[in-house]
Structure 1
């Protein structure tokens, strides 16, 4: 069972929910797809960590073969190639690694070379496999790292897989959720929180993913995010209070389900609710 945890912006409690659900399960895999700012490993503290560099293919030019026809520059919509002073220039930082220029070159003056864009770290502790994607500074897209994470390190289905998504609703989030069984949307109880919740709500609807909302940092009184869920008919899975105890646990990079009986019950119950939702959706889909 693959569960994605996502939110419209950073700081809503997405990683809090993901790591605690991973710890609440007897056996789980945690995948941190927030490759620009991964921090789940700070809580789960994996041991015997192994690293793998992730590369993409970018073009390189053989100047002796290049005849200056500009076929490649006309093709590239991202202006990653330019013919300047009788030489072909390649701007690797804006290349989208599609390989089209190499295929189209009539004299085979272009070839592919590897460019390192980041790395994957994997380790384990306390029956949790921890897999983390890390994007190098200045790299334009983390999609290749996320693809690698999800193709190689997703569990075989016998245990729970928690995917900690990047914030927002861009292509890296789409890549993170496209093959999941369920999406947990984490939202804050503010008007701004409603705006961010709506972003990811529209995304999971587009992908036709079953979903529910966890309302975080809840206070007594009016909760615009809750009102939004009621208006839209979105299932509210649970409410996490704005709580000094939880804030202290989280700020010290500890796991709430291991520190507090109250939060152990909350996240175990949440996991059971989500599991039930997945099974119900599968039953409807296969009927």
Structure 2
């Protein structure tokens, strides 16, 4: 079972839900796909070990063979190559590694080299039997999706894999949730929360992924989110209250299921509801 935890905006409690769900279930994988700022391990404190670098290819131009025909620049949709009157310039950080430029070069002047844009780390907690994989995008690198895709190669489909997705609705989110069995959208009961929830719902509907909503900090704001879910027949899987005890634990970096065992039962019940939804095909 692959479950993505996503949100239309940052700060809704997406990581809180992902970490607490993993701990409540045990015997699970947790993949932190928020690779620009991974923070699951702030709440877990695992000793992480580097597994591999994330490499992406980019073109190298052999100036002795290049005839400055400009075909490489013409085919590049990302402006990673500029054909000038006397030279060809390559901008590696704009390159998506498609290899199209080398295919169209009539002179065989383009070869592909590799560079690292990030890394994958792994940690294990034997008491909860949780395996954490964390992707980290290098500072100044613009493309998170290659790191996310390589991170997801570590998913073990014999167990439960919980994906902590990046916030928003852009390419990194789609890369995180596209191959999932179910998506949990975490929101907050505010006008901003509702606005971004609507955007996130549109994305998962387009991808054809069954989904439900978790309302965090319930009791603050208004009932706009609940009314929207009711009108759209979207299941509200859980309501996490605006609670001082939960907030204090969060501020200390402590997942609240560790100190409030009744919430472990609630997260396990939510997981059972998700399994029932996936098996029945409801919500697709």
Report the TM-score range of the alignment, normalised by the length of the smaller protein: over 0.9
CA distance in structure 1 between the partners assigned to 2:115 and 2:72 by the alignment: 19
Rate the CA distance shift 1:250–1:63 in 2: closer, same or farther, 3 A: same
Q: What does residue 13 of structure 2 align with?
A: 13
Q: What does residue 109 of structure 2 align with?
A: 109
Contact 2:31 2:134 (C-alpha < 8 Å) held by counterparts: yes
Contact 1:257 1:263 (C-alpha < 8 Å) held by counterparts: yes
Could you give the per-residue CA deviations for residues 89-145 of structure 1, whole angstroms, max 9, x where no partner exists? 111122222111111111111110001111111111130000011111221211111
Q: What does residue 143 of structure 2 align with?
A: 141
Q: What does residue 130 of structure 1 align with?
A: 132
Q: What does residue 210 of structure 1 align with?
A: 210
Rate the CA distance shift 1:205–1:215 in 2: closer, same or farther, 3 A: same
- Equivalent residues, number: 282
CA distance in structure 1 between the partners assigned to 2:221 and 2:76 by the alignment: 54
Q: What TM-score does the superposition give when structure 2 sets the normalisation length?
A: 0.94
Query: 3-state SS of the aligned residue for 1:47?
Result: coil
Rate the CA distance shift 1:221–1:77 in 2: closer, same or farther, 3 A: closer
Contact 1:184 1:211 (C-alpha < 8 Å) held by counterparts: yes
CA distance in structure 2 between the partners assigned to 1:275 and 1:35 by the alignment: 27
Rate the CA distance shift 1:220–1:97 in 2: closer, same or farther, 3 A: closer
Matches within 5 A, 1:63-74: 63-74=63-74
Contact 2:4 2:180 (C-alpha < 8 Å) held by counterparts: yes
Ranges of 4+ aligned residues in structure 1 off by more than 3 Å: none
Contact 2:215 2:236 (C-alpha < 8 Å) held by counterparts: yes
Rate the CA distance shift 1:45–1:97 in 2: closer, same or farther, 3 A: same
Q: What does residue 157 of structure 2 align with?
A: 156
RMSD over aligned Cα, in angstroms? 1.7
Gaps of 5+ in 1: none
Contact 1:50 1:123 (C-alpha < 8 Å) held by counterparts: no
CA distance in structure 2 between the partners assigned to 1:166 and 1:26 by the alignment: 23
Is 1:180 matched with 2:180? Answer: yes
Is 1:194 matched with 2:194? Answer: yes
CA distance in structure 2 between the partners assigned to 1:221 and 1:95 by the alignment: 44
Could you give the per-residue CA deviations for residues 8-55 of structure 1, whole angstroms, max 9, x where no partner exists? 011100000001110011300000111111101111222352331101
Contact 1:131 1:149 (C-alpha < 8 Å) held by counterparts: yes
Identify the range of structure 1 (57-66 vs 137-146) with the bigger mean alpha-carbon deviation. 137-146
CA distance in structure 2 between the partners assigned to 1:220 and 1:168 by the alignment: 22
Contact 1:6 1:186 (C-alpha < 8 Å) held by counterparts: yes
Q: What does residue 98 of structure 1 align with?
A: 98
Contact 2:190 2:220 (C-alpha < 8 Å) held by counterparts: no
Query: 3-state SS of the aligned residue for 1:129?
Result: strand
CA distance in structure 2 between the partners assigned to 1:80 and 1:221 by the alignment: 46
Q: What does residue 60 of structure 2 align with?
A: 60
Contact 2:48 2:121 (C-alpha < 8 Å) held by counterparts: no
Rate the CA distance shift 1:220–1:64 in 2: closer, same or farther, 3 A: closer
Gaps of 5+ in 2: none
Q: What does residue 33 of structure 2 align with?
A: 33
Shift of 1:273: 2.1
Shift of 1:58: 0.3
